[in-house]
Structure 1
């Protein structure tokens, strides 16, 4: 072990003795980081292949008319993926370097008490999506049960509860349960998507060409709106990048870690979006869960599709919707990881997901995404400005865990900048994420420099006197 590694592990041990937080929120020691680059790639591939992303691809087809053609769709997706990968690679550095989770990272910008507010902006949407994804999976599980029992069993709610209980059990094994779940899921996803792609090209090539490939499309608001919805949909994931990078083995350069995001996200997210657009073009149906059985038109394959959906739901929830709210619950209640994971799963059960995914609720759900992403845009820019500009990547980890240290209470600059960024985002809701990100970052820099003189949050920054 190098001198640097020994120093890091010594610091971790010291923090364990001063913090009141559960051990799962302590900095990760070098020995505790067991996720290899290969596992990390499988994790993001597994997360990328889900019905939500297919629906995003299908959204470019409205009432049988393409708002974006194939080139515009793929370019918009590529721009989104580049932005996502870049933000991931930037915001994961503190978690990777210091081994701390997102809820602890928030303390340097919002304060120990202020973190309660900002962490809920990540935790609540994650629980809602946990429930929505599980309801979709429960619907698919119910289809399997109907086929196996020849229709004698047909109860979506019971299937939903069963699937949720299974996910809660898996989540109890911690982050490392992701490795085998995502590895298995990634292999199944790849085989399934290639097969579906082949069917679409072979049997529906003409319809797809006429509806989507040769469409005029738009380079205006629909093009940029698609990018913003994509970013808004994943704003919660990359804002808590530290939750994932802290599990990754040490010794990787920034470029290599960036590749660990860009490659799997491009392969999985990009392919799934294309499949979604092709499905909608071929069938005129924008719900992939309904369109897939229509395209395959085979009972055995219909069961396989339902199984595919169930696995994608589990894979997506394990990465995006389990650990963030669990860590938030731990932060608020001081409970241990397993109890908090159970609470997160039970809260997802009572999030009324069956109401949120109805056709009549689609507009409201989309607005929900835009609203919380309007706040998460400023949060991510505040974190980046804090770490890279104000602190020049120098952070005293012990201070983050010291409840009587410089980060105690609220940081008014961070909270005010978040509100300013969110308010600016609502000027043009369709572009909420990027507007909030820019406005929030600028506001935080200016407030940190000119306002709240004597604030303890200036300690260690370029504005410390």
Structure 2
């Protein structure tokens, strides 16, 4: 196929993976998701739900609905990746055109690198706690440098080195790493839950707290909770083809995602709530930050082992959910210069430039920015689903995705219905920011963006096709 491709749109990393080389089974897909679902952001997500006024059991209902919606979206959006062996940044060209595709690709890449940076700093805190526990002199390296102490810089370097080690041999090492990391985190989480049940003599105080929400207030908060949980994975709902392209069959990708996504989330969420219940009894308040909990327990062995688990969990989510998609997105921008390994190192450098230690003191700002980005990625998901399942009827001419003059080229590389639908859908999803009276739209922003963009795209693209 390479003789007909444009060098600006193609290299070996972006090329379709032949069927005979797609060796991921449902087990690989499930363990990858297990490794991603167990991360600090998801762990602390339960705190946000309970802060809204839900009971622990209602939190479980929010999680169940959220992850079932995500599962359905990712199940369908993954199909093209499995069928054709192509990544998100190539698949999106059928809707946006080869140059127009750079718009959602850059947006997704920005979000991936930002999340990598934030998650990596969470692991940095854990490494810092581990080393400071084993060698107390470590904590004396307190000289400030660019807003962070010298010993924290040392921990950050160690975390970045661990990411380099996992990424050094590309997708094969990532697959093998997740095969071990995903299940291991569940086992250790179960041990922590057992400890919490022992301390709390049962499910604990948080499960005994009744709901503070009723009637319309409950309905609105439930919608906000579901949208917020979806927002954590809105980025991955877009680029799931980056993973599904390695899976050998549609059955494997569906079964793997079903086990690894909603099932694992429903197991992990009560673990987080039960463990936090034990902190209420021990310290008189809920401690949702795992690193803070380890330091509060003040037991060297627990700090070291628990910190290692946090680092493992962070690595498992970062390499798949953030570094891998960011690599493909960067390669898509410069396929003649970048390959997977070079792009991986570039992601690590760009992640440092985000200076996550400064953002951590402004958590509200982080989530405000990421909520807006998630609201913009809902329209991308809607456009992708509408394009592939309705407009293209699940049939793509793959060779034309790598050409400027193919059937997906549009006008000068832009298929205009997609950018128009993307902008309108994004504005509708975030309309509450512009018009405060419509702030309630924010509680269902992902759904609004997806629905508006999909409908408008089909209306514009269908009309264009009829007049072609």
Same fold (TM over 0.5): yes
Deviations 1:166-196 (A, max 9, x none): 2124213111112221122123212211111
- Pair 1:319 & 2:320 matched: yes
Q: What corresponds to 2:244 in structure 1?
A: 245
Q: In structure 2, the residue corresponding to 1:152 is in which secondary structure?
A: helix
Q: How far did residue 32 of structure 1 move?
A: 2.2
Instruction: Choose the corresponding residue for 1:430, options 422, 443, 446.
Output: 443
- Pair 1:258 & 2:254 matched: yes
- Pair 1:338 & 2:337 matched: no
Instruction: Choose the corresponding residue for 1:416, options 420, 423, 431.
Output: 420
CA distance in 2, matches of 1:112, 1:58: 42
- Pair 1:165 & 2:168 matched: no
Q: Is the 8 A contact 1:378 1:441 kept in 2?
A: yes
Q: What corresponds to 1:365 in structure 2?
A: 366
> Measured at CA, do residues 132 and 392 of structure 1 come closer, stay the same or move farther in structure 2, by a change above 3 Å?
same
Q: What corresponds to 2:305 in structure 1?
A: 304
Deviations 1:105-140 (A, max 9, x none): 110111111111110111001000111111111111
Q: In structure 2, the residue corresponding to 1:405 is in which secondary structure?
A: coil
Q: What corresponds to 1:188 in structure 2?
A: 184
Q: What corresponds to 1:68 in structure 2?
A: 54
Q: What corresponds to 1:7 in structure 2?
A: none
Q: What corresponds to 2:208 in structure 1?
A: 213
5+ residue gaps, structure 1: 1-13
Q: What corresponds to 1:134 in structure 2?
A: 120
CA distance in 2, matches of 1:89, 1:382: 15
Q: How far did residue 38 of structure 1 move?
A: 1.5
CA distance in 1, matches of 2:414, 2:119: 34
Q: How far did residue 16 of structure 1 move?
A: 6.6
CA distance in 1, matches of 2:187, 2:3: 45
CA distance in 2, matches of 1:196, 1:438: 41
Q: How far did residue 399 of structure 1 move?
A: 0.9
CA distance in 2, matches of 1:297, 1:152: 17
Q: How far did residue 377 of structure 1 move?
A: 0.3
Instruction: Choose the corresponding residue for 1:445, options 447, 454, 458.
Output: 458
Instruction: Choose the corresponding residue for 1:176, options 162, 172, 185.
Output: 172
Q: What corresponds to 1:226 in structure 2?
A: 225
Instruction: Choose the corresponding residue for 1:200, options 196, 203, 212.
Output: 196
CA distance in 1, matches of 2:154, 2:329: 28
- Pair 1:354 & 2:376 matched: no
Q: What corresponds to 1:399 in structure 2?
A: 400
Q: How far did residue 390 of structure 1 move?
A: 0.9
Deviates more, 1:401-410 or 1:105-114: 401-410
CA distance in 1, matches of 2:383, 2:49: 32
Q: Is the 8 A contact 1:322 1:344 kept in 2?
A: yes
Q: Is the 8 A contact 1:60 1:277 kept in 2?
A: no
Q: In structure 2, the residue corresponding to 1:257 is in which secondary structure?
A: helix
Deviates more, 1:349-358 or 1:301-310: 349-358
TM-score normalized with structure 1 length: 0.88
Q: What corresponds to 2:268 in structure 1?
A: 272
CA distance in 1, matches of 2:2, 2:241: 18
**Runs of 4+ deviating beyond 6 Å:** none
Q: How far did residue 327 of structure 1 move?
A: 0.9
Q: Is the 8 A contact 1:140 1:309 kept in 2?
A: yes
Deviations 1:304-358 (A, max 9, x none): 1110111111100111001111111111122222111111111112111112222
> Measured at CA, do residues 264 and 217 of structure 1 come closer, stay the same or move farther in structure 2, by a change above 3 Å?
farther
Q: Is the 8 A contact 2:425 2:449 kept in 1?
A: yes
> Measured at CA, do residues 123 and 53 of structure 1 come closer, stay the same or move farther in structure 2, by a change above 3 Å?
same
Q: Is the 8 A contact 1:16 1:23 kept in 2?
A: no
- Pair 1:125 & 2:111 matched: yes
CA distance in 2, matches of 1:339, 1:156: 26
| Matched pairs, number | 433
CA distance in 2, matches of 1:419, 1:438: 13
- Pair 1:44 & 2:33 matched: yes
Q: How far did residue 285 of structure 1 move?
A: 3.5
- Pair 1:57 & 2:46 matched: yes
Coordinate RMSD, CA, aligned: 2.0
CA distance in 1, matches of 2:293, 2:264: 18
Deviations 1:190-210 (A, max 9, x none): 22111111122221257x654
Q: How far did residue 274 of structure 1 move?
A: 2.1
CA distance in 2, matches of 1:199, 1:296: 13
Deviates more, 1:402-411 or 1:76-85: 402-411
Q: What corresponds to 2:23 in structure 1?
A: 34
Q: In structure 2, the residue corresponding to 1:27 is in which secondary structure?
A: coil
Q: In structure 1, the residue corresponding to 2:395 is in which secondary structure?
A: coil
Q: How far did residue 295 of structure 1 move?
A: 7.5
> Measured at CA, do residues 18 and 294 of structure 1 come closer, stay the same or move farther in structure 2, by a change above 3 Å?
closer
Q: What corresponds to 2:144 in structure 1?
A: none
5+ residue gaps, structure 2: 142-150, 432-440
